[in-house]
Amino acid sequence: MKTETDFKTRNAKPKWLKASIPSGENYFKIKKELERKNLSTICRSAKCPNISECWNNHHATFLIMGDTCSRACSFCSVKKGSPRPLHPEEADRILEMVEIMRTKYVVITSVTRDDLEDGGSAHFAAVIKKIKSSGRDLKLEVLIPDFKGNKEHLDRVFAAGADVLNHNLETVKSLYEKVNRKPQNYYVSLSVLKAAKEKQPVTKSGIMVGLGETKADLDELFHDLRENGVGLLTIGQYLQPTAENLPVAKFYSPGEFEELKKTALSFGFAAVEAGPFVRSSYNAGRMYRQGLGKGG
Ligand code: SF4
């Protein structure tokens, strides 16, 4: 018998997953300014369901190094293909946008740029430095790609001085092949987080559930993240963004997310956000403050 949490098609979403249509004065103002400045956000590229809430609360996640990813993970709706040239003035445009949005907690992520010799690490580091040296009273969280685990490239980004270093595992180890990632990339990502913790005060990671993971898979992942020093964790529901992406294997109910949060906290994370619409940058500032109080 089909249960409430066992829907298989993207149209059969349970009632708690009905997202509101983007609206609100700030939402439209931010949308217009972003377009004027030719800036991308993961909020739009990944079709995030929280866009109205976040943008109306002066919070967006900037997507740097273009809007086209050089990898092809099968859960992700970010455009894939041949990425475009980098724009050296990208940090200035973000700073202008930060000013307009009056945001005190900035989150920046990027597409993966395997096409660039340094993976885009020099550009990413330059953006971090420019924002941190702007003299504005703000915290900066960066959600970075794995830079193929290249130590030189990673050290360049770590040294730039972001306040929080986030790198998502995205899913459990046993599902890496299913999502079109090499299985060894799970370990590359753990090594990125471990190396980050040696240089950064606060590290963070995130996953989506609903791709077919088991409880044992999740326990293993929580354990692996804690073993590598990760203090902050986000857990959200995978939502098939387009018909070309992987179908949802399971919709977790809000109660099941509460249970996941409790389980994850029992592994020793300083802060865990878990919920159907939680994404890695959701309530990022609040989570940072929560985590700081408990040692990150
Ligand atoms: S949760 Fe993150 S990606 Fe989604 S709208 Fe908010 S800031 Fe953007």
Distance 261 CA to ligand 1 centre (A): 20
Q: Which residue is it, tokens 């307009």?
A: 100
Q: How far is the CA of 86 from the centre of ligand 1 (A)?
A: 23
Structure tokens belonging to residue 137: 């009273």
Mean pLDDT calculated for residue range 189-216: 96
What is the tens place of the pLDDT at every residue in 83-139? 888 999 999 999 999 999 999 999 999 999 999 999 999 999 999 999 999 999 999
3-state secondary structure of 140: strand
Q: In the structure, which protein residues have their CB atom closer than 6 angstroms to any atom of ligand 1?
A: 42-43, 48, 50-51, 54, 59-61, 279, 281-282
pLDDT at 6: 43
Closest ligand 1 atom to Cα of 283 = 1
Return the best residue to mutate from 50, 109, 239 for the ligand 1 pocket (most ligand atoms within 8 A of CB).
Answer: 50
Nearest CA to ligand 1 atom 8: 43
Which residue pairs, CB below 8 angstroms and at least 24 apart, start in 128-132? 128/157, 128/160, 128/161, 128/162, 129/160, 129/161, 130/91, 130/92, 130/95, 131/91, 131/94, 131/95, 131/98, 131/106, 132/160, 132/161, 132/162
What distance in Å separates the CA atoms of residue 31 and residue 176, rounded to the nearest whole number? 34
- pLDDT tens, residue by residue, 14-55: 988 887 788 888 899 999 999 999 999 999 988 899 999 999
195-212 burial: b if 16+ Cβ within 10 Å, else e = bbbeebebbbbbbbbbbb
Q: State the pLDDT at residue 234.
A: 98
The whole-number average pLDDT for the span 205-229 is 98
What is the average per-residue pLDDT within 193-201?
93
pLDDT digits (tens, 9 = 90+) for 58-92: 999 999 998 888 888 888 888 888 888 899 999 99
pTM: 0.92
Cα-to-centroid distance, 168 and ligand 1 (Å): 15
Domain ranges in the chain?
Answer: 20-292
Quick check: 162 and 128 in contact, CB under 8 A?
Answer: yes
Q: Which residue has the least CA distance to atom 3 on ligand 1?
A: 43
Q: Beginning with the edge strand found earlier in the chain, give each strand of the sheet holding 105-110 in spatial order.
A: 40-41, 61-64, 105-110, 139-143, 164-166, 202-209, 232-237, 271-275
- Looking at per-residue confidence, does 11 or 135 come out higher? 135
In the predicted structure, residue 163 carries a pLDDT above the cut 80: yes
Q: Percent of the chain, pLDDT > 90?
A: 77
Distance CA 127, CA 107 (A): 12
Cα-to-centroid distance, 1 and ligand 1 (Å) = 35
**Of all atoms in ligand 1, which is nearest to the CA of residue 51?**
5
Return the pLDDT at 13.
85
Give the distance (Å) from ligand 1 centre to CA of residue 2. 32
pLDDT recorded at residue 295: 62
Q: What pLDDT does 76 receive?
A: 84
Pocket test for ligand 1, best of 94, 107, 142, 279 (most atoms within 8 A of CB): 279
What is the mean predicted confidence (pLDDT) over 259-275? 97
pLDDT value, residue 2: 41
* CA 255 / ligand 1 centre spacing (Å): 22
Tokens of 223: 């354990």
The preferred substitution site among 54, 97, 98 for testing ligand 1, maximizing ligand atoms within 8 Å of CB, is 54
Given a cut of 80, whether residue 265 has pLDDT beyond it is yes
For 261: left if phi > 0, alpha if psi spans -120 to 50, otherwise beta; the answer is: alpha
Give 27 Cα–ligand 1 centroid separation in angstroms. 12
- Residue 59 has a pLDDT of 92
What confidence category does residue 293 fall into, taking pLDDT thresholds of 50, 70 and 90? low
Return the residue whose CA atom lies nearest to atom 1 of ligand 1: 282
Distance of CA 98 from the midpoint of ligand 1 (Å) = 15
- Looking at residues 263-285, what average pLDDT do you find? 96
pLDDT for the residue numbered 22: 84
**pLDDT class of 7 with cuts at 50, 70, 90:** very low
Domain 20-292, CATH 3.20.20.70 — does that match? yes
pLDDT at 249: 96
**Which residue has the CA at smallest separation from atom 2 of ligand 1?**
281
Distance 90 CA to ligand 1 centre (A): 20
User: Which residue would you say has higher pLDDT here, 210 or 69?
Assistant: 210
Name the residue among 169, 151, 284 with its Cα closest to residue 226. Answer: 169
